[in-house]
Amino acid sequence: MSPVLFELLLRSIWETVLMTAASGLISLVFGLPLGLALIATERGGIAENLWVNRALGAVINGFRSVPFIILLVALIPVTRLIVGTSIGTWAAIVPLSIAATPYYARIAEVSLREVDRGLIEAARAMGGNRWTIIREVLVPEALPGIVAGFTVTLVTLIGASAMAGAIGAGGLGDLAIRYGYQRFETSVMVAVVIVLIILVCGIQWVGDRLVARLDRRG
């Protein structure tokens, strides 16, 4: 591999890491409250409101059913509004975040639903309000699942970011297609795949270690 290509590889790694980390963080910040809202408003939840619950569910399902490559293009006006441009790495972070947030909300919802209802009842019996239940019971008890779900989301984002090349965002996927596939540079293709494997394994390993440390359920 030529020094130029190597430099290109390094830049692509940085772009992928940036896109994954930024959109992952945004999906965590918005997805977790969304998951909490889904759990709280469902039947028998701590803030039961079936209309809100159905509306949230419909919006989430709507975003999740649009193929990412379509979302990438369809969101161009939104991206331009937020970032000021519709091309480049930062521009890709907007559709990536918008796709990952409902995805992560669903994953968080599943973990939160697994929290024993008896624990919520105990907190209510102690005189706790909704905020107490969220802060002291729901989130801490579901934390292992919330972290494990975040790991899954990050790995999914690495895959999705490969498509971001379509709007000139760069990244490892883009490099593999343009150099490895279209220019028959097998060494680039192999290098990209190896880097991706290392990246995914690394994220999974850190995530698993964190979950093991957090899980006190014995």
Partner 1 sequence: MIGAWLSGAGGPLLSGPLSHLCTAKAIPGKVCAVFRTELRKDKEIERFAVFMKTVKRSKTDSEMNQHVTAELADPVNIAPAGQDDVVRLVDLKRRFGATPALDGVSLTVRKGEILGIIGRSGAGKSTLIRCLNGLERPDSGDVFIEGREIGRLGERELQPLRRRIGMIFQHFNLLSAKTVEDNVALPLKIEGRPKAERLARAAELLDLVGLSEKAKAYPSSLSGGQKQRVGIARALAARPALLLSDEATSALDPETTRSILALLKDINRQLGLTILLITHEMEVIRSIADRVAVIDAGRIVEQGPVWSVFAEPHSEITRSLLGGIRPQLPAEIAGRLLPGAGAELILRVDVAGEAARGPLLSDLAVAVPGPFRLVHGGIDHVQQQSVGTLFLAVVGNDARHVADVIAFLKAREARVEVLGHVAGSV
Question: Does 121 engage in binding with partner 1 (CB under 8 A)?
Answer: yes
The distance of closest approach from Cβ of residue 143 to partner 1 in the complex, given in angstroms and rounded to an integer, is 6
- Write out the binding residues for partner 1, residues 179-218 only, by CB under 8 A: 214, 216-218
Q: In this structure, how many other beta carbons lie within 10 angstroms of the beta carbon of residue 57?
A: 17
The tokens describing 46, both together, are 């701590």
User: With contact defined as beta carbons under 8 Å apart, do 28 and 150 qualify?
Assistant: yes
Question: Does 143 engage in binding with partner 1 (CB under 8 A)?
Answer: yes
Of 96, 99, 137, 148, the one binding partner 1 by CB under 8 A: 137
Q: In this structure, how many other beta carbons lie within 10 angstroms of the beta carbon of residue 156?
A: 19
DSSP 94: H
Size of the site for partner 1 (CB under 8 A): 22
Of 116, 198, 206, 213, the one binding partner 1 by CB under 8 A: 116
Question: Does 48 engage in binding with partner 1 (CB under 8 A)?
Answer: no
Nearest to 96 by CA among 119, 75, 121: 75
The tokens describing 12, both together, are 């692509």
Instruction: Please give the residue ranges that form the binding site for partner 1 (CB under 8 A).
Output: 116, 118-119, 121-129, 132, 136-137, 140-141, 143, 214, 216-218
